[in-house]
Amino acid sequence: MAKKLMKGSEAIAEAAIRNGCRFFFGYPITPQTEIPEYFSERMFEEEVHGCFLQAESEIAAINMVYGAASTGVRAMTSSSSPGISLKQEGISSLCAAELPCLIFNIMRGGPGIGSIQAGQGDYFQAVKGGGHGDYNMITFAPSSVQETINCIGQAFPLAEKYRMPVMICADGIIAQMMEPVELPEMQPYEVDPAEKPWAATGWDPKNPVGERANVTSLYVETEQLDVLSARLQGRYAIIRETEPQWEAYNMENAEIVVTAFGTIARIAKSVIDELKDEGINVGMLRPITIWPFPYDAVREAATQPGVKAVLDVEMNAGQMLEDVKLAINGAQNVDFFGHCGSHLPTVDEIREKILSMREE
Amino acid sequence: MLEQCIFAGFGGQGTLLIGKFLACAGLMEGKEVTWLPSYGPEMRGGTANCSVVVSDRPIAAPVVTAPNSVIAMNLPSLLKFEHTVKPGGTLIINSSLTNAKSSRDDLRVAYVPATEIAEKVGNPKGANVVILGAYLAMNPEIVAIDTIIEAMKEELGPRKMKFLDGNIKALHAGIDYVKNT
């Protein structure tokens, strides 16, 4: 199939539809409003025939996702940082009720209402539990429009396999940018009650078949909550073991390794390419899943023979930095460069930082 | 080849659109492209700009801070981006809207009275495409003129196809202006 030039937000919506998503609930917020806008038209086309609903608030939207996901269908919501904060109670409930769904955070600058430009300050919120309780979600942090589409392709099957919400944290630049993309073919999705016995697909009291579905996040008996917790934690252990994804770039003979995610990783890549042309080898280890975090891959890259230091670059005060340090556990020097809010680190700044590290 | 350019002007002048034409043409020629708009509390008459990258290799950063080329459709854009252009780069100024001169002597600078030229070919709203023509005439290695015309067809779509002829005229008028001055 020929590549098509497409804006990130529109590609996100189209890719979700082509992966069987027929239920979208959301509330407008810059810089992701083009996602609901695209759904608002496309969902009502003949070949899609789905449901788009602009909810009265972000909180309503995430709870509508809870309702739709309870029936086993592929449902999704999207928002941007302050809106994702509002959704946290619902996200915690979705995790406890073991409901698969897709949540997009098109990150902007925070804290508070912050700015409407791209940000990366929601790393902690996404991977350290933005809501209450012991839960995790598989969380992708793509760095291009195409990679975002690929993550959507993985998101629904993973969400269903592990019965959990999957979050994709892309920043405002990815949503606003146009890049050439290749979209998957349309794959309609039918709920198979045999595959999803937990889903509330309808129960006829006159003709009862099987068990009644009971979707809940309330466990009054502590013992029952223990059973749920053990099940969730068991799943998380498997996911930590098997699902981390990352990209290693220019690692051969690297003397410094950069860790970064999302758009910032691309800015750092520009620096790496420039320095390579000048005979300086800098590698990069870029987590694609930020939960599960690729701890082993980061440690191996950081301690590869010849590597003298690690530089973590982010558009925040150093959030992923904590996971990078946990991964390395003192086995390598770790430095940080970044700006908060929506202040993009530039090629020149990162370059200068790397060169100053070489002199130390 | 790695071309990083910024197209800047007032909202409503079609600066984002000519950036799309360039990105789309680059894709048609099998190159790697990115198009990144500025967004914010912007409105008609406010400033608007986009960064376009066209490259033979996979594009790392889509964010352009040191462009090879800047197209300034108005004075605020000139003031904002003139100092960012790499030495030896291209600076095109819409001289229909400003008499300002560039203070840089290390750039290839063109002053293009885009509105007048567009009016002369009967397409008074085509100043953006005149400037695009001027840019391509000064940087012929980026994409072929025929491909830009194909890209305009693609981006305009069936609904706006009636504007194609006027835009082709504006494009050639921009090219001719640079060649003849």
* pLDDT single digits (tens) B66-112: 999 999 999 999 999 999 999 999 999 999 999 999 999 999 999 99
- Do residues A142 and A13 both lie within one domain? yes
Q: Which of A177, A267, A347 sits opposite B36 (nearest CB)?
A: A177
The side-by-side arrangement of strands in the sheet containing B32-37 is: A4-7, A178-181, B32-37, B47-55, B2-10, B69-72, B90-94, B108-112
Put simply, whether A269 touches B (Cβ < 8 Å) is yes
Question: Is residue A120 in some structural domain?
Answer: yes
pLDDT of residue B39: 77
Put simply, whether B68 touches A (Cβ < 8 Å) is no
Which residue, A130, A161, A181, sits at the end of a domain?
Answer: A181
If you average pLDDT over every residue of chain B, what do you get? 95
- Do residues A23 and A130 both lie within one domain? yes
**Strand, helix or coil at B33?**
strand
Q: Which of A180, A263, A346 sits opposite B65 (nearest CB)?
A: A346
Which of A108, A40, A50 has the alpha carbon at shortest distance from A79?
A108
What is the Cβ-side half-sphere exposure of residue A346, based on CA atoms within 13 angstroms?
A: 8
B62 and A31: CB-CB below 8 Å?
no
- Do residues A18 and A109 both lie within one domain? yes
- Do residues A158 and A39 both lie within one domain? yes
- Do residues A124 and A260 both lie within one domain? no
CATH number at A299 reads: 3.40.50.920
Question: Is residue A263 in some structural domain?
Answer: yes
For residues A222 and A213, what is the distance between their CA atoms, to the nearest angstrom?
21
Which residue, A181, A197, A222, sits at the end of a domain?
Answer: A181
The vertex-B153 CA angle with B149 and B154, nearest 5°, equals 115
pLDDT of residue A210: 75
- Do residues A123 and A253 both lie within one domain? no
* pLDDT single digits (tens) B129-173: 999 999 999 999 999 999 999 999 999 999 999 999 999 999 999
Put simply, whether B34 touches A (Cβ < 8 Å) is yes
Burial of B65 (0-12, 13-18, 19+ CB in 10 A): middle
CATH number at A133 reads: 3.40.50.970
A177 and B35: CB-CB below 8 Å?
yes
B60 and A117: CB-CB below 8 Å?
no
**Strand, helix or coil at B138?**
helix
B27 and A5: CB-CB below 8 Å?
yes
- How far B94 CA sits from the closest chain A CA (Å)? 26
A176 and B37: CB-CB below 8 Å?
yes
- Do residues A166 and A312 both lie within one domain? no
Within A60-144, strands assigned E span 75-79, 101-107, 138-140
What is the Cβ-side half-sphere exposure of residue A321, based on CA atoms within 13 angstroms?
A: 18
- Do residues A158 and A266 both lie within one domain? no
Is residue A36 over pLDDT 80?
yes
Q: Which of A30, A176, A180 sits opposite B33 (nearest CB)?
A: A180
B65 and A270: CB-CB below 8 Å?
no
Task: Name the pLDDT band for B47 (thresholds 50, 70, 90).
Answer: confident
- Do residues A25 and A164 both lie within one domain? yes
Q: Which of A30, A180, A263 sits opposite B27 (nearest CB)?
A: A180
* pLDDT single digits (tens) A198-233: 999 888 888 887 778 999 999 999 999 999 999 999
B40 and A348: CB-CB below 8 Å?
no
Put simply, whether A250 touches B (Cβ < 8 Å) is no
Token pair belonging to A265: 């990783």
Task: Name the pLDDT band for B43 (thresholds 50, 70, 90).
Answer: low
If you average pLDDT over every residue of chain A, what do you get? 96
Is residue A1 over pLDDT 70?
no
Mean per-residue pLDDT, A278-283: 98
Q: What percent of chain B is modeled with pLDDT above 70?
A: 97
Determine the distance from the C-alpha atom of residue B58 to the mean position of all C-alpha atoms in its chain, rounded to a whole number. Answer: 22
Q: What percent of chain A is modeled with pLDDT above 70?
A: 100
CB pairs under 8 A between A and B: 61
For residues A194 and B8, what is the distance between their CA atoms, to the nearest angstrom?
57
Token look-up 């840089």 returns: B104
Token pair belonging to A332: 């390598």
Question: Is residue A227 in some structural domain?
Answer: no
Query: Can you list the domains of chain B with their CATH numbers?
Result: 2-179 (3.40.920.10)
| Helix (H) or strand (E) run with residue B3 in it | strand B2-10
Question: Is residue A153 in some structural domain?
Answer: yes
- Do residues A259 and A177 both lie within one domain? no
Token pair belonging to A343: 């202040």
Burial of A346 (0-12, 13-18, 19+ CB in 10 A): middle
Region of residue A250 (phi > 0: left; psi between -120 and 50: alpha; otherwise: beta)? left
pLDDT of residue A2: 82
Put simply, whether B65 touches A (Cβ < 8 Å) is yes
Question: A156-165, A216-225, A267-276, B41-50: lowest mean pLDDT where?
Answer: B41-50
Mean per-residue pLDDT, A116-144: 97
| Helix (H) or strand (E) run with residue B153 in it | helix B145-156
User: Among the residues of A136-282, which ranges form H helices?
Assistant: 145-162, 172-176, 222-242, 262-277
Helical packing angle, B127-138 and B145-156, nearest 10°:
150
Q: Which domain holds residue A293?
A: 246-359
A173 and B33: CB-CB below 8 Å?
no
**Count of domains in chain A?**
2
- Do residues A44 and A158 both lie within one domain? yes
Question: A222-236, A296-310, B10-24, B39-53: lowest mean pLDDT where?
Answer: B39-53
Which residue, A132, A154, A181, sits at the end of a domain?
Answer: A181
| Helix (H) or strand (E) run with residue A38 in it | helix A34-42
- How far B155 CA sits from the closest chain A CA (Å)? 10
B60 and A266: CB-CB below 8 Å?
yes
Within chain A, strands assigned E span 4-7, 23-26, 51-54, 75-79, 101-107, 138-140, 165-171, 178-181, 246-249, 256-259, 282-287, 289-291, 309-314, 334-338
Question: Is residue A203 in some structural domain?
Answer: no
Question: Is residue A289 in some structural domain?
Answer: yes
pLDDT of residue A212: 86
Q: Which of B23, B39, B62 sits opposite A31 (nearest CB)?
A: B39
Question: Is residue A241 in some structural domain?
Answer: no
Question: Is residue A35 in some structural domain?
Answer: yes
- How far B41 CA sits from the closest chain A CA (Å)? 9
Residues in chain B: 181
- Do residues A26 and A140 both lie within one domain? yes
Residues in chain A: 360
- How far A69 CA sits from the closest chain B CA (Å)? 34
pLDDT of residue A199: 95
Mean per-residue pLDDT, A221-249: 98
